[in-house]
Structures are given as structure tokens and as C-alpha cells.
Amino acid sequence: MGYKHGVYIQEVPTSILPPRSVSASLPVVFGTAPVHRTEGKKVNEPVLCYTYAEAVKEFSCDDDWEKWTISEFMKSMFSLFNVAPVVFINVFDPAIHKADVIDEEGTFIDNKIILENSDIIEISMNSAALGGAIEYIENDHFKFDSVTGEIEKMEGELDNVDSVFLTYSYADPSLVDSDDITGGIDPETYKLTGLELVNEIFPKFRLVPGQIVANGWSKDPAVAAIMNAKAENINGFLKAITIIDIDDSLCPFYADLPEYKNKNNLVGKQMVLCWPKVKLGDDIFNMSSQVAPLIARTDGENSGVPYKSPSNENLQMTAAVSNGLNVWLGQVEANYLNGNGITTCLNLIGGWKLWGNRTGIYPGSTDVKDSFIPVRRMFNWIGNTLALTYFQKVDFPLNKRLTETIVDSANIWFNGLTARQFILGGRVEVLLEENPSTDLMDGNIKFHVYVTPPSPAREIDFIMEYDPKYLENLF
């Protein structure tokens, strides 16, 4: 540094690190949207939305939820539960998932032609088949509604034309299949598609996925399995839960569900299994599209900490529906499903409510950290927070200053969580037996985290006894 003469200032890193803010309930939703109606035509691209208007601008919207599953979640998230944000990933590609019609003859009736197919992507019109004499231009010779498929003459060259030949392509979301949802890596462009894109959420938005949802698609056990696998390992070190629907067309009766669940291996600790569908007015929702926003709302009411179960919280529904028929479960039937790791809905006191605290791993495993939804989510959230907070300390010298900084900072955070009753207690220690010299020499140090999130009070018992002593009050 050379010769010094004077007063100098030096700084050392702060010995206490505040925890990084980590989202616990951010839904990442995979599905189909009519993006051919939008300017951006977002396909296999994560899009963060905070408002309904923003979501409609990016993905359009449609009432046919069998075709366009993202529209269903949009309505539930923004209209029914009024929570945000959400990340949508559309897998419908209008360049691929389309059907072509060539030289179809159309006859004008009252100056209009209504195509049998709607959701037109592109169209051309000729006066005769096979490239006839005149090609008519949209907005010069005819008006066209791509959504309804209605063609209307404009004044001019079509005045005396009764029939034309039409060549067009229309959106066919039925060509989207489960493989599009599970996705992979494009061998030519190396671009991620489908569920593989969950790894792009944090690098792109600096938000941690909290819930992985594919309403309308997760009823496929293959999709559910991939969702659970991705939730266990996001970016190599983050975790989330998955909200899975059980196919009510295959399991119309509640007693069918446990066998179906085990037969199809729906036993992941990150799985919240939902049955049946829920109905509000004329709209029928996959339960996952209401459970995910309900979880987000419940977290929001508790400072973003996922320590409270969404069970016994109100859903936005007027009926439960299985295979097109209304379902009325009593508490005994609902508890039977809960005892098999399946979440359902119940209408007893206070309206229709979500009912169930168990993850899909129950009853195969009764480990409290895996089998209770809020405890599993707390372990995910605490682990994600610790990993992201102390990622900045990777490659620092492995000395006492480093260990004390991590231990002291984490314990202060745990003390705060305990004081607010988000956890019953927690601490971080460095244990000698878990850190052999060979590991330390190789730059590997382990911190042991002890933490106890509160279990949900799933059963409250009152023990009643007739006490004859109170007969003395007669005298």
C-alpha cells in the first residue's frame, strides 16, 4: 500500500445478516391459453402477472376452460381470491397445435359466412379454388372475426359474389398433450419447455416458486409425478409444493380414491391431492385452481409465513361436483379421505371450506415434517430462506468468523419467528461429529438446524363427565 500518513477508514462485513425475503406461495401455473389472439404469442415462456388485466393482455381469456386451462386459474386467482402475483407458462403453440383447411367452399347467407371452426389463426379467400382469379383481402373486401369464425362482406368486389373458397388454419388445443406439459429440452435450440421452465423462475424474476400447478392436467399421474420431482429440486436447492387434482371421471365415488392414489403412486411429500371439482354458479373449477389461491391468501394474512394450514378456510364455491354430479360429503367421509392423504371440501359450519391437512405421503409416512401440509411448507420455506440468505457466503474463508456470522444471524431470525409464534422454537448449531476434518479440509461445513413449526390442531376433544357434586347447589 506504500507509505501512509494520516487517518484511514476500513470496513469489515457486518457480523449479522438479515434473512432474505422468500415467497412461500407463489403459484407457477402450466397450461393452455389462446395466445394466437395476442400480440406477444407467449409460448413456453414464464410471464409474471400481478393483475387480471395484465394476464388477459398477455394470454387472452376464454370461457371454454376445457380448452384453455390458464383462463380458469386467472379467474380464480384474480376475481375470486384477489391475490397476486402468479407466473403463467402457456404450452399451446399456434404454430404447431393447429389444423389446416384448404379450399373449403363457403356460401354467403345475408352477406355472411360462419365457419364451422372458430379460433382462426390465419385465413385467405379466393374467387375460385386452387388459386383463382381474385384473392380477396381482409379489411379491404371482408371483415373477419377470428374468435367466432364469422366472415362479413364489405361493399365492393364481393357484391355479386355468392360463394368463395377459403383456406385457413384454426387453433386446435386438443393437439396439446401431457408431454407438452411435462416438457423437456428442445434438441435444436436447447430451449426449456413445459415443467422444465420452473428452473427459470428465480433467475428471471428473483421470486421463489412456492406452488406448482397444472389445473386440468395434473389429473394425469405422469404429469403429477414430474410436477412432484420438479418441486423437490428447483435450481438444485429450492423446494415447493404441488397442487394435484385426482381425476373425478375415474374416481366418481369417494371410496374409490385411496386405491387409485396408491395404484398411481400419488404419494409424494410435496403433493397436495385434491378431490372433487368445485362449482360456483355455472362455472366448474378443478379444485387445484382454487386451493393454490387459497393458500396464497392464507399466507398473505399471516405475514407471508406458511405456518397456518389452508384447511377449514373458505373456498369460493356453491357445490362439490364429481363426474358431473353434485357430491355431499359428511365429516365421516371427508375424514376418511383426509386419513388417506387426500384433501377435499366440506359444508358444515361457516359455508364451504377446504378440509384436510395431510400431504400425499400420508399414511405411508407419518413423519410430521412430511405428512402435514403447513409443516412441510414451513420446512420448504425455512430451507429456501437459509439457502438464499447464505448463498452470498459461499467461497468465503472457512473460519470462525464465517461460522459465527451464520449461526448468530440464523438464531436471531429463529428467535424472531418464535416470538411471533410462527414456530415453537428453532436454533442452528455446528456439531463436531457432523464436521470431520476431511470435510473441513475439503471446504465442506455442515450446520444443523433444529426447528419445530406448529402442527395444525386437527382434533380438539372435550372430555365430559357428569359431576354429582353440583347437586349440592339445589340446597
Query: How sure is the predictor about 462, in pLDDT bands with cuts at 50, 70 and 90?
Result: very high
pLDDT tens across 116-128, in order?
888 888 888 777 6
C-alpha grid cell, residue 310: 389452508
Q: Which three cell numbers stand for residue 44?
A: 413456453
Q: Which of 5-9, 31-35, 132-136 has the highest mean pLDDT?
A: 31-35
Cα–Cα distance measured from residue 32 to residue 15, given in angstroms and rounded to the nearest whole number: 48
- pLDDT bin (cut points 50, 70, 90) of residue 137 is low
Q: In the structure grid, which three cell numbers stand for residue 424, read together?
A: 415453537
Which residues, including other chains, have CB under 8 Å from residue 128's CB and lie 6 or more apart?
165
* Strand 142-145 with 150-153, pairing: antiparallel
pLDDT of residue 130: 44
Does the pTM of the predicted model rise above 0.85? Answer: yes
Give Cα separations from 304 to 18, 156, 245 (angstroms).
17, 62, 25
User: Mean pLDDT over all residues of the chain?
Assistant: 91
pLDDT at 131 over 60: no
Query: Quick one: the chain helix, strand, coil %, rounded to 5?
Result: 30, 25, 45
Kind and range of the H or E run holding 437: helix 437-441
Contact between 164 and 171 (Cβ < 8 Å): no
CATH class of the 27-92+178-374 domain in this structure: alpha beta
* Weakest-pLDDT range from 16-30, 31-45, 119-133: 119-133
Q: What is the pLDDT of residues 148-189, one digit of tens each?
A: 888 887 777 677 777 888 888 899 999 999 999 999 998 888
SS3 347: strand
Distance CA 241, CA 227 (A): 9
Q: Which pairs with CB-CB distance under 8 Å and at least 24 residues apart come from 348-353? A: 350/314, 351/314, 352/278, 352/314, 352/315, 352/317, 352/318, 352/320, 353/311, 353/312, 353/313, 353/314, 353/315
Q: What is the pLDDT of residue 12?
A: 63
135/147 Cα distance (integer angstroms): 22
Residue 280 has a pLDDT of 96
Which of 70-84, 149-163, 291-305, 393-407 is predicted least confidently? 149-163
> What average pLDDT score do residues 460-465 get?
94
Q: Domain spans of the chain?
A: 27-92+178-374, 98-171, 395-475
Residue 449's pLDDT is what? 94
Residue with cell 457432523: 434
Give the pLDDT mean for 56-76.
95
